[in-house]
Structure 1
Amino acid sequence: MMFFVAPLYSGAVWAGQVNINSADVSTLSTELTGIGDKKAQAIVDYRKQNGPFASVDDLQNVKGISSKTIEKNKENISL
């Protein structure tokens, strides 16, 4: 008898890089940990008002985005 065992992977393994300077609300909220629709909209609004983010740490300037949230997502964020 042969058994096939499928490995289980967390969503983080499959998540790709999210460009915070071009991603839409839906992408931000589904691909980043701790970012729901409200925070994703705040990121997009901040970007529209202030221009592109120069660094990932600039996300701290967005209301509701903490350094802990940034740290959780750093590997999945690109500029």
Structure 2
Amino acid sequence: MRKAILAAAAFAVLSGFSFGGYAATQAQPAPTAVAVAAAPVNLNAADAETLSRELRGIGETKAKAIIAYREEHGPFSSVDELLEVKGIGSATLDKIRGQLSIQ
């Protein structure tokens, strides 16, 4: 009889730890992914470092080509004018179009 009581008490104690640990993990909400909308990159004001850092598919070489084009031809009048920059094709432009602004 004594063994049965000790076994029941041990079971109760161990169950309490188990359920308590389970409850603690369930009480905390799971982290959620939050999409942070970054401000558009101003094509007429951004430097090469900003362009290459913020725009997917634009590395250092293409960023410098964008700056060189801007210095030679003046400010961009539209995002589509990027197609005139060597190394920028329609696929690249389509990827970054939503991240660009002309101000």
- TM-score, scaled to structure 2: 0.69
Q: Which residue of 1 aligns with 2:15?
A: none
More helix by share: 2
Q: Which residue of 1 aligns with 2:64?
A: 41
CA displacement at 1:60 relative to structure 2: 0.4
Residue 25, structure 1, aligned to residue 48, structure 2: yes
Residue 3, structure 1, aligned to residue 28, structure 2: yes
CA displacement at 1:5 relative to structure 2: 2.2
Tell me the matched-pair count.
Answer: 77
Identity %: 47
Residue 62, structure 1, aligned to residue 85, structure 2: yes
Larger Rg: 2
- TM-score, scaled to structure 1: 0.88
Quick one: distance in 1 between partners of 2:63 and 2:56? 11
Q: Which runs of 5+ in 1 are unaligned?
A: none
Moved beyond 6 Å, runs of 4+: none
- Cα root mean square deviation, aligned: 1.4
Greater RCO (CA < 8 Å, at least 6 residues apart): 1
